[in-house]
Chains A and B, each alone.
Chain A
Amino acid sequence: MSFKYDGFMTAAEASKALASREVSSRELTQATLERIAAVDSKVKSFLKIIEDQALSQADRFDANPQSFPGGLAGVPGALKDNICMRGIETTCGSLILEGWQPPYDAGVVTQIQDSGSVVIGKTNLDEFAMGSSTENSAYFTTCNPWNTRHVPGGSSGGSAAAVAAGEVFWALGSDTGGSIRQPAAYCGVVGLKPTYGRVSRYGVIAYASSLDQIGPLTRTVEDAALVMNMISAHDPKDSTSYPEAPPDYTKSLKRDVSGFTIGIPREFFGQGIADPVAQAVMDSATVLERSGARLIDVSTPNVGYGLPCYYILAPAEASSNLARYDGVRYGMRVEAGDHAEMFRQTRERGFGAEVKQRIVIGTYVLSAGYYDAFYLKAQQVRTLLSRDFEQVFSQCDLLITPTVPTTAFAIGEHIDDPFQMKLSDVCTSPVNLAGLPAMSVPCGFSDGLPIGMQLIAPAFAEERIFQAAYTFEQATDYHKARPSI
């Protein structure tokens, strides 16, 4: 074939190649499968490859390319393994769901299939999306393509690593407290957490329902816009889905940032932020300033309460969401005397340590006598936090912050220090609590590991993020850097 695939072509380029008949979706899919075969033993992004289904989806596109006008039609991507796809094992990185095949498609999967895109497999994650490294996966730990002794971040570590390693053109992750943006930053890719309600949560295995949101991981900002065009829609099956139709996000790419005021919230640059990270983000702000944006200092005084608040509310919801894994209807069952004993032993064996810890914390903060002091207080703080953001967005259009305080840590480095591990969510979790959209964009390297900056916008103002991120990307070369995997 005349088509030459090196693994790092962008989704937009692949789409153009398909449109010009330079390549077929089947060839693209086979090339992708070959790339996975070549590198996945080193990266370990995938829990499952669905070769046959992927090829038949590709053939469906090739048979009638005109009927799939979507920007990602025929272009292979991957799903985090907490997104349900009919008949495809979905484990959520947990033993308790090993072998479970959902009898239905998630809202985003329906969108993907309607647009003629191709799903090639399910990626690794921390069990039930709880973690920052994929080390909590019940199956294996994914490696950072830039340095395989380091974690890819998490919980969408498999999706971020797959995109960074050139195994797929795009991937979906889920973000509850930073689970798209943090691995995007660690792996040097673009990761967007959309506004809560912008993308359907139907068929996404819940961790914390009021915070979970699906979003893209891609190698470029343009590709992220293409994924957003494919997956954002109102879904009547999700009551929290936003009823208005989404804009065409690729249109935002044509606008620059002149006239934008970008706020630099000082609380995000405090203690714990590594110097190279702070420096890279400040330099990036300067790049945007040179492109026409105005920079101002702003303050979000309550943002420091975000992380503790997140670690009360998310486990509270999780303790309820994960109670259904009792061995009665699906997944693992440990047979025991009576049903109560069966529940106990199934959950004892089926869940990993981190999940159990969060269930215990969540159960505790919802208990009579503790509810007011923890859950209710955290909800009040959440309101204050949202007001902080509302307040700063009356002064500026966007915020720029580090995505994560440091670059990717080594595998095993924080395994005995869950507190340190959780600190990596400090800049991202306040955004989920406020329900806002935010993107991590590659903006530098330190010791060969990528650094990400976070752009935060008001609710449903993803277009501003795309404008600024694309402008930044055009002015820099970070997105062109490739790991030597």
Chain B
Amino acid sequence: MSSESALSEKATPRESANTPYEAIIGMEVHAELLTNSKLFCGCSAEFGGEPNTRCCPVCLGLPGALPVINERAVEFVLKAALALNCQISRDTYFHRKNYFYPDLPKAYQVSQYGDSAIGIYGWIEIDGENGGSKKIGIRRVHLEEDTGKLIHATGTTSEVDYNRSSVPLMEIVTEHHPRPGFDQIKTAGEARDYITKLRAILTYLGVCDGKMEEGSLRCEPNISVRPVGSEDYGTKTEIKNLNSFRAVSRGVEYEVERQIDVLRNGGRIVQETRRWDEESATTASMRSKEMEQEYRYFPEPDLLPFHFDDEQIEQLRASLPEMPLARRQRFVDMGVSETDAETLIEDKAVSEFFDAAVSHAVDVRTVTNWVLGDFMKLLNQHGVPINQSKVTPGALAELIGLIEDKTISGKLAKGVFEEMFNSGKSPREIVEASGQTQISDTDFIREEIVRILSEPRNQPQLQKYLAGNDKVLGFFVGQTMQATSGRANPQIVNELLKEEMEKLR
């Protein structure tokens, strides 16, 4: 190649160092379905296991073995397609996607191609970067089988584990060219919100556990950038190995900036797959995708087409559980702030805990503060999911009750909660064991005393005391005991009253 032609590949003059760019981000998500068995055989679909212990002639693709569809997997994808506002294909069928790789035992992946997908043309609502909501168009929701896993052993040999082979996988792809009325994902924040919202929907449906770290939810964004105002799309790169929400936003952000940098420096984007490296927080080229793979899709002759009738679809639609956005609205209607409601619904289990706690007729805001505050902090510290915590919604409600009826102060309650979290004991049990039902909480008693002393109707008595009438102390002890339903420790009340009244001298 001559230097002239190399130069000709450089940026056009209008793409100068000051050209503002925008990113167009497509999302391809693979969700492993929570079925007990694999897609075409009775083998366990559970994660893990000694290599090649969850296999049979069917998922190993032995000669002569034939697939039988797991109907539950079809139902799961149908549910997801409905929840993602898709059109449902009344007749759906499978294709073979043919390619050679050691982890693909039949040398074809049973998948769905084109409009034979179970769901097409749906959308998902996300929060736009600049406020307001955005409707992101979904092109297709389809069912396919997972592949095995290549283990690169030492030296010149490799090993393959087929435990994951034929585990049911749902693929959800956004639209590249959006339909009128729908938006594209344009920022890293929106990409993160997309995967957050999608994960919530899938976990609410109970079709996927959404564990990005274990790979049961995999997100492969494709990214291109273009000068703002341009209608053409730039060259895409795809990012793999994004194992958390944080990695999605950081990875996309890095890649967008990298592409803009390349273009601003007169370079050219290569169509390729890039791998996100968490440690260096960069992406690096894995393989070029310049050559379009030839998959030779054709209808899978070993499986019969599926037909869904309207009644079946409507029945399933009616059986869908409350979706995250509806739950968020319900929480807001209950008096939770928009921001808190958003945090509460992100994790299905958290929202369910909240719902259960509130059902004990305690104050909604107090519950919110406890769940999103102390509780969340402890859960994160210990790495425990909320539904595996020793604290039950009823116990939290009981604790809040103890504060409300002034058995303990808010400050003491924090310690009680920590003990509840560690031991699983009920708050009343903890409080009684420590003798704290008789109020000995000095802060709490002092608060009450300060309040009583500041009350206008008590000023004449206070003046008497300050004038030297010590007997008036008895009056204030009585007032304090009354305010604490007689449970305040009288000795502490006496001492604190003296202290507080002395301060007013």
Asked if A106 is an interface residue, CB under 8 A from chain B, the answer is yes
Asked if A339 is an interface residue, CB under 8 A from chain B, the answer is yes
Residue contacts A-B, CB under 8 angstroms, 5 given: A100-B63, A319-B296, A328-B105, A330-B62, A366-B297
- Chain B, 58-80, contact with A by CB distance < 8 Å: what is the 0/1 string? 00111111111100000000000
* Closest partner residue, chain A, to B300 (CB atom): A209
The CA-CA distance from A103 to B60 in the complex, in Å, is 12
Contact assessment for B100 and A209 in the assembled complex, using a CB-CB cutoff below 8 Å = no
Contact of B66 among A208, A239, A319, A368 (CB under 8 A): A239
* Closest partner residue, chain B, to A201 (CB atom): B66
Tell me whether A323 and B107 are in contact in the complex, defined as CB-CB below 8 angstroms, given that A209-B301, A367-B294 are known contacts.
yes
Asked if A343 is an interface residue, CB under 8 A from chain B, the answer is yes
Contact assessment for A328 and B102 in the assembled complex, using a CB-CB cutoff below 8 Å = yes
Asked if B298 is an interface residue, CB under 8 A from chain A, the answer is yes
Contact assessment for A324 and B61 in the assembled complex, using a CB-CB cutoff below 8 Å = yes
List of B residues within 8 angstroms of A368 by Cβ: 294, 296
Known: A102-B64, A203-B65, A205-B63. 5 other contacts (CB 8 A): A84-B64, A102-B62, A237-B66, A326-B100, A366-B297
The CA-CA distance from A90 to B57 in the complex, in Å, is 15
* Closest partner residue, chain A, to B96 (CB atom): A320
The CA-CA distance from A363 to B98 in the complex, in Å, is 10
The CA-CA distance from A123 to B61 in the complex, in Å, is 24
A378 to chain B, nearest CB (A): 11
The CA-CA distance from A340 to B98 in the complex, in Å, is 15
B161 to chain A, nearest CB (A): 12
Between B63, B69, B304, the greatest number of chain A beta carbons within 10 A of the residue's beta carbon is seen for: B63
B186 to chain A, nearest CB (A): 31
Asked if A202 is an interface residue, CB under 8 A from chain B, the answer is yes
- Chain A, 437-474, contact with B by CB distance < 8 Å: what is the 0/1 string? 00000000000000000000000000000000000000
List of B residues within 8 angstroms of A240 by Cβ: 301-302, 304
List of A residues within 8 angstroms of B98 by Cβ: 319-320, 323, 366
B171 to chain A, nearest CB (A): 20
List of A residues within 8 angstroms of B297 by Cβ: 366
The CA-CA distance from A328 to B96 in the complex, in Å, is 20
Asked if A87 is an interface residue, CB under 8 A from chain B, the answer is no
| Main SS at interface, chain B | loop
Contact of A323 among B108, B298, B303 (CB under 8 A): B108
* Closest partner residue, chain A, to B100 (CB atom): A343
Between B57, B69, B107, the greatest number of chain A beta carbons within 10 A of the residue's beta carbon is seen for: B107
The CA-CA distance from A109 to B451 in the complex, in Å, is 90
Contact assessment for A363 and B296 in the assembled complex, using a CB-CB cutoff below 8 Å = yes
A252 to chain B, nearest CB (A): 28
Contact assessment for A210 and B301 in the assembled complex, using a CB-CB cutoff below 8 Å = yes
CB-CB nearest 10 A-B residue pairs: A323-B107, A210-B301, A366-B296, A209-B301, A203-B64, A205-B63, A84-B64, A205-B64, A324-B107, A328-B102
Among residues 78 to 102 in chain A, which have CB atoms less than 8 Å away from a CB atom of chain B? 82-84, 90, 92, 97, 100, 102
Contact assessment for B62 and A103 in the assembled complex, using a CB-CB cutoff below 8 Å = yes
A17 to chain B, nearest CB (A): 34
B354 to chain A, nearest CB (A): 45
Asked if A254 is an interface residue, CB under 8 A from chain B, the answer is no
List of B residues within 8 angstroms of A92 by Cβ: 63
Q: How many residue pairs, one in A and one in B, have C-beta atoms under 8 Å apart? A: 98
Asked if A317 is an interface residue, CB under 8 A from chain B, the answer is yes
B115 to chain A, nearest CB (A): 15
Asked if B158 is an interface residue, CB under 8 A from chain A, the answer is yes
Tell me whether A366 and B298 are in contact in the complex, defined as CB-CB below 8 angstroms, given that A323-B106, A324-B106 are known contacts.
yes
B95 to chain A, nearest CB (A): 10
Asked if B160 is an interface residue, CB under 8 A from chain A, the answer is yes
A410 to chain B, nearest CB (A): 33
Between B64, B105, B302, the greatest number of chain A beta carbons within 10 A of the residue's beta carbon is seen for: B64
Asked if A204 is an interface residue, CB under 8 A from chain B, the answer is yes
List of A residues within 8 angstroms of B57 by Cβ: 102-104
List of B residues within 8 angstroms of A84 by Cβ: 63-64
Among residues 424 to 438 in chain A, which have CB atoms less than 8 Å away from a CB atom of chain B? none
List of A residues within 8 angstroms of B301 by Cβ: 208-210, 240, 317
List of A residues within 8 angstroms of B67 by Cβ: 239
A107 to chain B, nearest CB (A): 9
Contact assessment for B63 and A329 in the assembled complex, using a CB-CB cutoff below 8 Å = no
B31 to chain A, nearest CB (A): 24
Contact assessment for B107 and A339 in the assembled complex, using a CB-CB cutoff below 8 Å = no
Contact of A90 among B63, B96, B108 (CB under 8 A): B63
B465 to chain A, nearest CB (A): 91
Between B65, B67, B105, B108, the greatest number of chain A beta carbons within 10 A of the residue's beta carbon is seen for: B65
List of B residues within 8 angstroms of A320 by Cβ: 96, 98, 107-108, 296, 298
* Closest partner residue, chain A, to B68 (CB atom): A239
List of A residues within 8 angstroms of B96 by Cβ: 320
Contact assessment for B107 and A239 in the assembled complex, using a CB-CB cutoff below 8 Å = no
The CA-CA distance from A104 to B63 in the complex, in Å, is 10
* Closest partner residue, chain A, to B304 (CB atom): A239
List of B residues within 8 angstroms of A202 by Cβ: 64-66
The CA-CA distance from A203 to B105 in the complex, in Å, is 16
Contact assessment for A339 and B64 in the assembled complex, using a CB-CB cutoff below 8 Å = no
List of A residues within 8 angstroms of B62 by Cβ: 102-104, 329-330
Tell me whether A329 and B60 are in contact in the complex, defined as CB-CB below 8 angstroms, given that A320-B96, A320-B296, A368-B294 are known contacts.
yes
* Closest partner residue, chain B, to A204 (CB atom): B64
Among residues 321 to 340 in chain A, which have CB atoms less than 8 Å away from a CB atom of chain B? 323-324, 326, 328-330, 339-340
Contact assessment for A324 and B63 in the assembled complex, using a CB-CB cutoff below 8 Å = yes
Contact assessment for B302 and A106 in the assembled complex, using a CB-CB cutoff below 8 Å = no
B413 to chain A, nearest CB (A): 59
List of B residues within 8 angstroms of A363 by Cβ: 296
- Chain A, 358-401, contact with B by CB distance < 8 Å: what is the 0/1 string? 00000100111001000100000000000000000000000000
The CA-CA distance from A371 to B106 in the complex, in Å, is 21
Contact assessment for A239 and B63 in the assembled complex, using a CB-CB cutoff below 8 Å = no
- Chain A, 173-206, contact with B by CB distance < 8 Å: what is the 0/1 string? 0000000000000000000000000000111111
A77 to chain B, nearest CB (A): 19
* Closest partner residue, chain B, to A238 (CB atom): B66
List of B residues within 8 angstroms of A371 by Cβ: 296, 298
List of B residues within 8 angstroms of A301 by Cβ: none
* Closest partner residue, chain B, to A335 (CB atom): B156
B155 to chain A, nearest CB (A): 13
The CA-CA distance from A176 to B158 in the complex, in Å, is 37
The CA-CA distance from A237 to B64 in the complex, in Å, is 11
List of B residues within 8 angstroms of A330 by Cβ: 62
A85 to chain B, nearest CB (A): 10
- Chain B, 96-119, contact with A by CB distance < 8 Å: what is the 0/1 string? 101011100111100000000000
B58 to chain A, nearest CB (A): 8
B110 to chain A, nearest CB (A): 11
List of A residues within 8 angstroms of B302 by Cβ: 206, 209, 239-240
Asked if A272 is an interface residue, CB under 8 A from chain B, the answer is no
Among residues 45 to 102 in chain A, which have CB atoms less than 8 Å away from a CB atom of chain B? 82-84, 90, 92, 97, 100, 102
A100 to chain B, nearest CB (A): 8
Asked if A224 is an interface residue, CB under 8 A from chain B, the answer is no
